[in-house]
Structure 1
């Protein structure tokens, strides 16, 4: 146990070292800026691969992203940091008015946050994050107490208690009496007053009396002006009222303290729950911050898993968007390492930092700036990146690198990835290459994944010849003699030292002399690599152009599909409008015909026949429109595979669940056997049962039907009857969907009962529920007729149906 704890401690300590190397905290600030409060920031600061379950955290994040896109973000109230107020309460100190207002915002914020999810369709939000949020506490009692007691300015309301109201009323009356008395006093003693007014000293009403007139009035002096010309006198007749006012003020203070203590105690009693909710709100705040990051930065949620590394269009968060060049890098499961070569300032170090950063971020529950096709392994990361020179420890650059590599080799295992920048540098190239190759072979033998960068030719050649390694290079534009900062996979890189030296002005004579010192074999290899780089660069350019074209095509395809879908919906709406118009015409025609039939003046049989013919035409028109609607719905809901139906196939009705078998083709319709019940059905009303979930349903259905047949053979024949005791159903207060589900069952029961008439009570309201019910009844063949109730049947608040 101790060794496991020590190992975890070593990993956490090493993680802090890596974070400094890859500017993790600067990147973290980019996520923290989206938090509502310090709560979420604290949670983000404490996230690391060893403190959370990244799969669960990222699953919550993915669910919340989907929800936010539908219902938006909550207010910030639930994420107020009220911990300083809670500390006061915990220490037995009564909270003050304005503090209670902050607490009220907090508790109402939690209530509002929960309500956002409660109001949604349960089927849409059956997820872990919803259960997490709905697990927050309920604080209605505290909310009501604060609202009843504290006004919007943080003051105690008069009616916070009966006693307080009485005290304040009495205080107001005494104050009123004092003021009236003061005004009378001023009127009668103007000649002895320094100013014709009164003032308040020590919470008592006093008058500015001339010092030389002091003896004319009995009373108590409460002070003197700085000049000594005025004394502030409380006349004897005012003493009882001032005393009473002071007593009332003290009583008011005591009652206010009692009221505030009462609410404070309610909060104290819930402190444990509140603290638990604050910890939960830290997480929720941080999740909303990460959702904003996903949506605003176009980041991806990649759940770390396995040992496959693939970063697609990865963008380092600290590089400005107008300057960044996305990188693509891939280390498959069957390979151990990548050796990246190329010129200095080509982007090798940034690429390594990006890989390390994204693995740590994803394993800590963060979204990353990469394409959705990216894959991140669930690996610990160990790095040697940047200049490791340390003057205080007397380490040279090479010694510093070796020190880091020794440390990471001690900690790394086959569930790790090692990232080393400039492997073998800082010493003699020949010896540096040998040590570097030894390190690479050690990593391969221990089955540790790695990515290294280098300039050394022997390492390039080794990676090219080893079947478990991948050669890669930083792309270099030979025309501009500048790096493009892109990674070319499966191709080694040339150093381009001579080209870069020439670009920066090194004389040709020096370059020519330097050329003579190069090994002939080395020159051939470099030329070969340069030519390969050139061809690969051209291919990469074409590939990127094709990818851009494909992305544009997919975007246009998606836009087209969305527009096509909207057009279909629009067509259905237009047909529905036309249907309503036709129904109006039919109703009008029926009404006219009824009037004609009932009128004694109507003796023309031809006129009646003409009206009947008009109605027949209207009905035919209606059937044509219904056919169009069914066709559009069929095209919208059913895939091409599900439309391909032949004799012998299993099918279901487009709006049903029963599964039958097509036994013959009759004209252009199909005859379907639904467990002995043969029905002729139009093709556009059928869906072929295909593989997948439908096939599971089919098997289940067949098994159920077999079981029914077996059971029927075992038990005596039974006539099923309805248990309906009254022929009415009340659906008031329900949504249309909820009501229709109940009405459907009600009609079934009505058909099996002795009743032929049923009453659906839906209320008047806005008419939305009644409209939805009538639209449903219009298509239900079980219902012969339907109408609004007569006055004695509930009027338009009820619908009467005949089955």
Structure 2
């Protein structure tokens, strides 16, 4: 049993139902109730998770249209009954919606096995769609060509109408009759063609009068010259109706034969609509999938009641398995009742396979949820508030089991505080002995003391700030709360004399207990503030650590990427040289060259390979530790990596603890301890950068100017390079990049030959891997 009304569960269903696209989906949501079988609940949650997973691929898995075709299917099961053209159109829309969803989910079946199985186990009845397409158009109107006979009837009717219109138009133009006409318009009255005559000329045109105008100035007459044709049309219309009934009956027979398939298709569409509505609620209300555990535990992190729209103070609560009861205390308007309702509502939502508006929700699956919340006074039954309260609690006690959770608001209220406290304590004791998890709110000191005396009773309170005299709505576990009646009365302006007298009437024991609670409350607020400050600092540290880890991962990935790309480019270059030289060897052989020339050509290949291997070895050189010298700006240095290797760069800035090292296109800020001076030739540049836990990285950028000649003809490419360098000389840029690619090597050789003849070029060399490797050449200009 789940007491849903008092928890306002129905209002939550109303909210979710508005996300549905169909009346059937809304009805399904509004009838939803919590379940007590964990497997059933988790199956429904897994369906929602699969649709959620699809949404992560930006797939809006929702049916375009859903029609209720059950009444139509019921109609076709009755003898001589048949569907209408609109019915057929709606059936077709359902089939098309199903086909649409089936096509969407097909590539994702392995990610959505449950939803996928719904579509795999049934094939769309394409034959029915073809049949309906042949009978009704896209707007749901019967087609004129739905059958051969219908085509013939329509053609005859069309021909007769055309003939009638021709005859009637003669009346409008004939000198003998045109003056009789009130208006030259062909009109239909009683499904028969007529002409409008002036009343004074009635009888001038022989025929049947079918109607008069409202002013009685016009008479609508069917001339005898078209009577036979009108009669023929009426006969044909009857034949047409008969043929349409036959067509629709034939369709109905085929629809009835596929009734189960069509029902299943509709059920699947409604199910998807139902799940999609839950998903939209989940996203709009920032909800999570509930988790179920075998222990009797309730955990809520940052829970937000969905009916409270603004200034929501999140609920954090943990009821461990060792507790059999929770006693919640605190001032009026402090949020105790809302807290109780939120807990019960979240449990019911979770067991309805609904997402819960929280950051985390975990709970046992309860067989029942009982709630005694609010004023249940019954005038008809002559029951007081207290009587109704006790009667309901009695019913709960008789029904609850160890798999139930019981929520009672203001336990023992509505009567003498001493007697109410004693009754409330006894009820709580009884529930504990039966191992029924019970959550109660109270102002009564006797119940508070009982909770403090028993280890299996969790004490909680809603926080009240004694300085501002306002509730904070924050739940505090382990500390009982004060009712703060005197403070609230003082805030509301009750006379000071009355407040002083109140304190005199309070017993010494009550004042002492209240002072202890007040002191605990003040200490808790102070600790809460410190805890909040620490949480903020901890989040900042976590964000910085996360940022660092991301940078570290990026740089580690860069290291692997650049090394892999470098090795690949070396291999491509080797392959290019090998093919080129082998072609030369073949040419030598074909020209009957000597063995010596062949041997010399192969030697060239080996030398090329050795050269490139040495280049690679030098580029990734690992340096051993050397005696550290004083680091200075402009000095060539090596930086230690986490892998124990060193990378090279130049010091651009420094202070006592940090050194800024520039290495190619990147610069890094590192600790002085991680930098050692080295001597390297000025022409050498390191090609890869790796990260360390104590430095920052930023990208400097590629050369300011570049020229891409890949894919161009040789002559066109050389002209492009010449123009590009001329343009570069007119700027202040002293370093440019020419992108020629690897290919056959013709463009690369052409570029290098041209650069060697230019007196304004200081030097040129292959780019580093991150700049394009052997597919690019960096040119330094003289200034």
Is the TM-score greater than 0.5?
yes
User: Does structure 2 conserve the Cα–Cα contact (< 8 Å) formed by 1:110 and 1:136?
Assistant: no
Paired residue for 2:11, among 26, 48, 56?
26
Shift of 1:346: 1.0
Please name the residue that 1:47 is paired with. 32
**Secondary structure of 1:451's partner?**
strand
Q: Kindly report the root-mean-square deviation, in angstroms, between the aligned alpha carbons of the 2 structures.
A: 3.8
Does residue 349 of structure 1 match 2:353? no
**Shift in CA distance, 205/386, structure 1 to aligned 2, threshold 3 Å:** closer
User: Does structure 2 conserve the Cα–Cα contact (< 8 Å) formed by 1:579 and 1:622?
Assistant: no
**Shift in CA distance, 197/512, structure 1 to aligned 2, threshold 3 Å:** closer
Distance between the aligned counterparts of 1:51 and 1:436, measured in 2? 29
Distance between the aligned counterparts of 2:586 and 2:96, measured in 1? 65
**Shift in CA distance, 568/31, structure 1 to aligned 2, threshold 3 Å:** farther
Paired residue for 1:108, among 81, 85, 96?
96
Distance between the aligned counterparts of 2:224 and 2:131, measured in 1? 44
Aligned runs of 1:461-610 on 2, under 5 Å?
A: 461-548=449-536, 550=538, 592-593=580-581, 596=584
Please name the residue that 2:351 is paired with. 363
Shift of 1:607: 9.8
**Superposed CA offset, 1:502-539 (max 9, x none):** 22222333222222222223222222222222222222
**Shift in CA distance, 138/551, structure 1 to aligned 2, threshold 3 Å:** farther
Distance between the aligned counterparts of 2:457 and 2:43, measured in 1? 33
Please name the residue that 1:394 is paired with. 382
**Shift in CA distance, 196/392, structure 1 to aligned 2, threshold 3 Å:** closer
Alignment size in residue pairs: 611
Please name the residue that 1:67 is paired with. 54
Distance between the aligned counterparts of 1:336 and 1:303, measured in 2? 21
**Secondary structure of 2:5's partner?**
helix
**Shift in CA distance, 392/201, structure 1 to aligned 2, threshold 3 Å:** closer
Shift of 1:209: 4.8
Paired residue for 1:144, among 109, 118, 130?
130
Shift of 1:619: 8.2
Paired residue for 1:35, among 4, 20, 37?
20
Distance between the aligned counterparts of 1:82 and 1:526, measured in 2? 67
Paired residue for 2:411, among 416, 420, 423?
423
Distance between the aligned counterparts of 1:302 and 1:536, measured in 2? 31
Please name the residue that 2:44 is paired with. 57
Unaligned runs of 5+ in 1: 1-10, 629-639, 641-803
Distance between the aligned counterparts of 2:376 and 2:521, measured in 1? 31
Q: Which has more helix, going by share of residues? A: 1
User: Does structure 2 conserve the Cα–Cα contact (< 8 Å) formed by 1:302 and 1:376?
Assistant: no
Distance between the aligned counterparts of 1:404 and 1:135, measured in 2? 49
TM-score by length of 1: 0.68
Paired residue for 2:238, among 235, 247, 250?
250
**Superposed CA offset, 1:250-302 (max 9, x none):** 33333233223322332222233333443444333222111222222121221
Paired residue for 1:313, among 302, 306, 314?
302
Paired residue for 1:302, among 290, 296, 311?
290
Please name the residue that 1:748 is paired with. none
Shift of 1:233: 4.3
Shift of 1:488: 0.7
Shift of 1:94: 3.3
Shift of 1:353: 0.9
Paired residue for 1:263, among 251, 257, 265?
251
**Secondary structure of 2:482's partner?**
coil
Paired residue for 2:427, among 428, 436, 439?
439
Paired residue for 2:142, among 153, 156, 160?
156
**Secondary structure of 1:59's partner?**
helix
User: Does structure 1 conserve the Cα–Cα contact (< 8 Å) formed by 2:585 and 2:598?
Assistant: no
Shift of 1:90: 4.7
Distance between the aligned counterparts of 2:42 and 2:550, measured in 1? 32
Does residue 283 of structure 1 match 2:271? yes
Shift of 1:544: 3.8
User: Does structure 2 conserve the Cα–Cα contact (< 8 Å) formed by 1:54 and 1:303?
Assistant: no
User: Does structure 2 conserve the Cα–Cα contact (< 8 Å) formed by 1:137 and 1:277?
Assistant: no
Shift of 1:557: 6.2
- Between structure 1 and structure 2, the one with the greater Rg is 2
Shift of 1:111: 1.3
